[in-house]
Amino acid sequence: MTTTSEPAASDVAPLLTDLPGVDAVGLEARAAALATRSIKKEAKATAIDLAISMVDLTTLEGADTPGKVRSLAAKALRPDPSDPTCPQVAAVCVYPDLVATAREVLGDAPIGVASVATAFPSGRAPMSVKVDDTTMAVEAGASEIDMVIDRGAFLAGDLRKVYDEIVAIRAACERPDGSRAHLKVILETGELATYDNVRRASWLAMAAGADFIKTSTGKVSPAATLPVTLLMLEAVRDYRDAFGRQIGVKPAGGIRTTKDAIKYLVTVNETAGLDWMTPTWFRFGASSLLNDLLMQRQKLTTGRYAGPDYVTID
């Protein structure tokens, strides 16, 4: 594992061809074994606070309104109004037209505004539309762009198209002052169907300049799964070993309980390792997870389980 500079576009195809295969049975067995770790007491308290700090609090509905996003952003600032020691979440994740609203409520707080762009969730739009979508979100104040890859192109074998799109969107993330919104690339692993595809897509996205790789839009079933996340963590670990650049991982969709979140954290801990145990490098894309984390946190603090009416709905 020697560290060299990142692959040029022409080197990406052979890089993907050389990736080791994935044995589905073995991968799932490993994920199942990681899911049996018993996390209790102080370790559980640590895990809950860490998980809260990693949440990208998300609303991606056609019915989203400025009011809905304002209350979501307010919740991001103070997830548990009854307990000021509760950490803030990492970001709020919204459609591009609501970025400005979210940014307005968040003010200068160190909470990101993530926006899904590039004709989310299908990604089926002309390139010019995808670039405009991204540019608008960045201009409105998005600090993170969650783009979807063109799964149709990927499955048809047109990896070059997928690669070029990621490069182009990364360029569209640049702001006039030279800084750049961070790019999370959504692979929509449920549509990629095989683990080998997930590994190839992960490496393709990383080689094209992704800052994060993300499992799902949340609009396709299955969304995030533990084996897929384990596989993507192996990919970012191996990529850093090979090329020296660290890339984050974001499972999204379907993670609803503290118990689930802890399984993911254990998987990060034992796969990619300590360097990824921070919201800078690992996120949960979730809407309902936060409330379960808050309820479990209250239970650890007070010793009693208070129930869903003791946390805010959004």
Active site residues: 146, 214, 250
Q: Is 275 in the site for another protein (CB under 8 A)?
A: yes
Q: Which is nearer to another protein, 37 or 161 (CB)?
A: 37
257: Cα within 13 Å, side-chain hemisphere: 3
Among 29, 155, 156, 306, binds another protein (CB under 8 A): 29
End-to-end CA distance of the chain: 46
**Out of 130, 151, 170, 182, which residue is the one contacting another protein (CB under 8 A)?**
182
Task: Kindly state whether residue 107 participates in binding another protein, applying the rule CB under 8 A.
Answer: no
Scanning the chain, the segments in alpha helix (DSSP H) are 12-17, 24-34, 41-53, 66-77, 99-106, 127-139, 151-155, 159-172, 189-192, 195-207, 226-243, 258-271, 289-302
Among 3-11, 131-139, 276-284, 298-306, the segment contacting another protein (CB under 8 A): 276-284
Q: In one letter, which amino acid is 211? A: D
| Burial (CB count within 10 angstroms: exposed 0-12, middle 13-18, buried 19+), residue 256 | middle
Query: Is 260 among the residues that bind another protein (CB under 8 A)?
Result: no
Nearer to another protein, 141 or 152 (CB): 141
Output the CA–CA distances (angstroms, integers) from residue 307 to 44, 140, 303, in the order listed.
19, 37, 13
Question: Which of 111, 166, 185, 187 is the binder for another protein (CB under 8 A)?
Answer: 111
Applying CB under 8 A, the residues found at the interface with another protein are 1, 20-23, 25-27, 29-30, 36-44, 46-47, 49-50, 53, 90-91, 110-112, 143-144, 181-182, 211, 234, 241, 265-266, 269-270, 274-281
